[in-house]
Every structure is written in C-alpha cells, then in structure tokens.
Amino acid sequence: MPSRVQVNNIPLRKISDFKSKLTGGGARPNLFEVELAFPTAVAIENDVLQKSRFLVKAAALPASTVTPVEVPFRGRILKIAGDRTFETWTITVLNDTDFVIRSAFEKWMNVINSMEDATGAQNPEDYQKDAIVHQLDRDGGILRSYKFWDIWPTNLSSIDLSYETTDTLEEFTVEMQVHWWEAYKGTSPAAGGEDIR
C-alpha cells in the first residue's frame, strides 16, 4: 500500500504569484461569438447568419458528464465509468424589429413538426445542423472553439410583452438538443489546451 506524504507547511502565496498564474488576465465570459447554421429547408438568407453573430447575447461552453455505474458489493458501492451524456445547449437572442432570427427558429421547428398537420422531416439530416461557439481573447483572437454536432431546437421561449416594460430590448431563448460536441484549440497566440474529439 502506498504511503501518504503529509504536507505540513503551505508556502505563503502572494498576489504577484497569483498574477503570474492567471494567463492572459483570465478568459472573459462576455468575449464570445456564436456561429449558427440552419437546415436547407429553412431557406434563410445569409443576413440571418451574420446577425446571429451579434445578436446571440448569451450562450454556454458545454458541460461534460460521464454517468457512473454503481455496482453493489458486500455493503459497499463500486463506481465505474458509464456512458457519456450531453446536456441541451441554450442560447439567448436579442430580438430586433425584423424578427429574422426568431422567424428562422420558428420555421426550423415547423420543418420538424408542422403546426397545421403535425407532419415533418423524417430524415435527421434534413433538420439537424452544427453550431460553434468561440471563446475570444481581448484582442479578438480565438482562444478555444466548441462545435456542437447535429443540434436541433426543442424549445423556443415566449417573449413577454407589457406596457410597464421600458428601456429594454426583447429577447428570447432557444434550447437545442446536442448529439455530441468537440473542442478545438484556438488560433490566438494565447490559446492553450488540446483538441478534444
């Protein structure tokens, strides 16, 4: 059985030590850009894709979950690695007056399941697309990119309207299913980490 080494003294940490370890001053959650794609059947114009790079105001870098399998043995539980699962991915979009991004998602969901007669695309290739979220550096370079494979929307939120709401813009959320994601090292000189596929 390996012996344990007891560490009694932790060296005094200084603010300069902390600063030297915080590479690039830290990644900023407000420096990101989302690249969306829509199925061919949605038939959107390129303007929608360009607008989404600016009007997607919130997104998330993906979580990673490997579910444990619990195996009972004589009053104890042995935990071994199970299957990987992928959570839904949610974005928040600012709504402008032409509604083109919201309309594109409404049409995408209608391609999947029509409002009028509940028919829709049967082949997943006809309604699933990929999306990318880039974490940016303060100079605009890409630190890391996450590609979400075969996404499709399952929830388009309502937009609340009220006479009492002033000095704000409308926004809505879109929740999408994800088959899997991959991570890529960015092109910025400050980028680190490895590609995860």
Domain count, the chain: 1
- The reported pLDDT for the residue numbered 33 is 97
Residue 171 has pLDDT above 90, yes or no: yes
Tens-place pLDDT, residues 30-55: 999 999 999 999 988 888 999 999 99
Beta partners for residue 177, in sequence order: 152
Name the one residue in this structure whose structure tokens are 């596929």.
Answer: 197
Residue 1 has pLDDT above 70, yes or no: no
Residue 196 falls within a domain, yes or no? Answer: no
What is the mean predicted confidence (pLDDT) over 6-20? 83
Give the residue among 53, 146, 151 at the shortest CA–CA distance from 108: 151
Residue 197 falls within a domain, yes or no? Answer: no
Residue 12 falls within a domain, yes or no? Answer: no
Q: Percent of the chain having pLDDT more than 70?
A: 96
Sign of dihedral through CA atoms 67, 72, 75, 79? negative
DSSP symbol at 2: P
What is the mean predicted confidence (pLDDT) over 19-24? 88
| Number of helical (H) and strand (E) elements in the chain, helices listed first | 3, 9
Give the range of the structural domain holding residue 116, as residue numbers without chain letter: 27-185
Residue 75 has pLDDT above 80, yes or no: yes
- The reported pLDDT for the residue numbered 71 is 97
Residue 20 falls within a domain, yes or no? Answer: no
Residue 190 falls within a domain, yes or no? Answer: no
- The reported pLDDT for the residue numbered 44 is 87
Determine the 3-state secondary structure of 64 from DSSP.
Answer: coil
Tens-place pLDDT, residues 89-141: 999 999 999 999 999 999 999 999 999 999 999 999 999 999 999 999 999 99
Domain CATH code at residue 126: 2.30.110
Residue 8 falls within a domain, yes or no? Answer: no
Cβ pair 179, 86 in contact under 8 A: yes
Cβ pair 133, 58 in contact under 8 A: no
Residue 18 falls within a domain, yes or no? Answer: no
The mean pLDDT of the chain is 93
Residue 6 falls within a domain, yes or no? Answer: no
* Alpha helix (H) residue ranges in the chain: 15-21, 46-55, 100-112
Range of lowest pLDDT (98-107, 140-149, 167-176, 188-197): 188-197
